[in-house]
Amino acid sequence: MIQKLKPIKYQLEGIELMVKFGSCIQADDMGLGKTMQTILTIEKLQSYPCLIICPASLKLNWEIEISKWSDKRGMILNDSIKNTFPLLYKAGISDYFIVNYESLSKYFVHSKPNRKDFRLDDIVFNEYRNFFKSVIVDESHRVKDVKSLQSKLTAGICMGADKNVFLLSGTPTLNTVLDLAPQLYIAKKIHHFGGYTKFISDYKDADIDKLSLLHKKHIKTSMIRREKKDVAGLPKKTRQVIYVDIDNRTEYNAAVKDLASYLKEYRGKTDSEVRRSMRGEVMVRVGILKQLSGIGKVNAVKEHIQNLHEQGEKVILFGENIDVLESFKTMKNTVSIVGGMSSESKQYSINKFQTDKITNLIVCSLKAAGVGVTLTAGRIVSFIQQGWHPAIMNQAEDRGHRLGQEKEVHCLYYIGKNTIDEHIYNIIEKKRKTSNAITGTTEDIEWAVIDEVIDLILNENDN
């Protein structure tokens, strides 16, 4: 497989360190390529089969990243392959298997006590626990509580002297340094610190000097940690695509079929004036497709945003349709800037997000908050829906990336797999590179993008 991208110097250094460690915590800052470095480490170690444990909202993204960075295939565990996935590995169909934290019991546990205070030793795992040669634990701060079920299950699955175990988290210590103890145990590195009990005893009330020595020991024995500010040549604003599967696929596919039928009629018109008069209907129908994709992503995006909150991040979320954005207002500590709000209400939301430490999500419509708003309290600018013009997206990104921002801004695009999102994102990215040369009215530019989307939809439905 020809890779579109290649790791750069600091990423290659990270891969070499991970290979050297064999198992470790990969704690690079968000946007530095933890996922890619880990996949390439597994490739270099040839440590198959590999199990990837991650939040449900990231399963599809891991599947895509595996195909991007290796010639192997990732497969999400489901009921249809619950007892046959080892055969799929032996047949050469898949080398990576992906599961979310909540499903670990289903696939790897034979039995466990029906009480809350049981120990790891009380869990009876099935034979599949020993099937894997390597385990990747994504967003590993989720296993910082040694008493939680998912921590116990993850620890049990990662056991084995010959297993390569890599824990990924940009913030492995969310509350205290003691959060590291369970993660070091799972990564099989706790012995460098005298064992679990001694680690807790030594660092429970550690002062700054002792914590500094701890950090140095981590870097030497068990952890990779680079921040964006430490990586030379890295842009102050980075973009990342998070692929998710929509949960209203049947409804979405029906809308695609309906749109394709109408577009064939539109394409069949030879009179340019007639075709121009149909533009409005085409745009409405394409807009419905964008709306359905947005609705279908809500649950996955909520989970991912909650994960970002757990890492201490404030998040700016942009979208277009009010019913998509309304779904996020039920999340705790959320404010919004949407159409129809008074200037006083908008300013209240801005001030609350900017100054209140607890307020960690601001939900914004591209029209109401895409320009003239400063939201530098958050370094995560995310999009559940996209506009039609690169300038619109650049302006929205720059609500966080502007004067007063002290951190590097990371832009997340939540893209529905096999939806109109992919077409729009790819076209917008292409036009970003030529946007300075694009001339015409905003309506003409918007239609030019829609016209390309129409061609892609028609081509897909002709095949």
Residues 207 and 59 in one domain: yes
Per-residue pLDDT at 87 exceeds 80: yes
Highest mean predicted confidence (pLDDT) among 88-92, 277-281, 455-459: 88-92
List CB contacts of 446: < 8 A, sequence separation 6 or more: 388, 389
- pLDDT at residue 436 in the model: 44
| 248 plus 202 within the same structural domain | no
Instruction: Decide if 10 contacts 41 (C-beta within 8 A).
Output: no
Structural domain range at position 376: 237-462
Residue 4 lies in a domain: no
Flag whether pLDDT at 265 surpasses 90.
no
Query: In angstroms, how far is the first alpha carbon of the chain from the final one?
Result: 25
β-sheet bridge partners, residue 244: 416
If you average pLDDT over residues 241-247, what whole number do you get?
A: 95
198 and 278 share a domain?
no
User: pLDDT > 90: what percent of the chain?
Assistant: 63
The last residue of one of the domains, among 230, 250, 268, is: 230
pLDDT digit string, tens, across residues 325-343: 999 999 999 999 999 899 8
pLDDT tens digits, one per residue of 306-330: 999 988 999 999 999 999 999 999 9
pLDDT in tens, 131-188: 999 999 999 999 988 899 999 999 999 999 899 999 999 888 767 888 899 999 999 9
User: What CATH number is associated with residue 104?
Assistant: 3.40.50.10810
Pair (253, 330) in one structural domain:
yes
pTM: 0.83
Distance CA 159, CA 300 (A): 30
Helix 249-267 to helix 279-310 angle, to the nearest 10 degrees?
150
Residue 156, in any domain of the structure:
yes
Together in a domain, 202 and 261: no
**pLDDT score at 229:** 77
* Residues 64, 187 within the same domain: yes
Q: Are residues 374 and 262 in the same domain?
A: yes
| Residue 306 located in a structural domain | yes
Same domain, 150 and 185: yes
Last residue of a domain, one of 187, 213, 230: 230
Q: Would 1 be classed as within a structural domain? A: no
Positive or negative torsion for Cα 366, 305, 322, 343: negative
Question: Are residue 169 and residue 305 in the same domain, yes or no?
Answer: no
Q: Is residue 19 part of a domain?
A: yes
Q: Report residue 461's pLDDT band, with 50, 70 and 90 as the boundaries.
A: confident
pLDDT value of residue 444 = 60
Mean pLDDT of 383-410: 86
- pLDDT over threshold 80, residue 222: yes
Q: Which of 174, 199, 230 is the last residue of a domain?
A: 230
Residue at 268 is within a domain: yes
pLDDT at residue 272, as a whole number: 64
Burial of 326 (0-12, 13-18, 19+ CB in 10 A): middle
Q: Residue 417's domain is classified under what CATH number?
A: 3.40.50.300
Are 200 and 250 in a shared domain? no
Q: Which of 158, 149, 141, 143 is nearest to 105 (CA)?
A: 149
| pLDDT for position 3 | 44
Q: How confident is the model at residue 442 (pLDDT cuts 50, 70, 90)?
A: low
Residues 28 and 161 in one domain: yes
Residue 328's nearest CA partner among 357, 360, 351 is 360
Give the chain's domain count. 2
242 and 211 within one domain: no
Look at residue 2 and tell me if it is in a domain: no
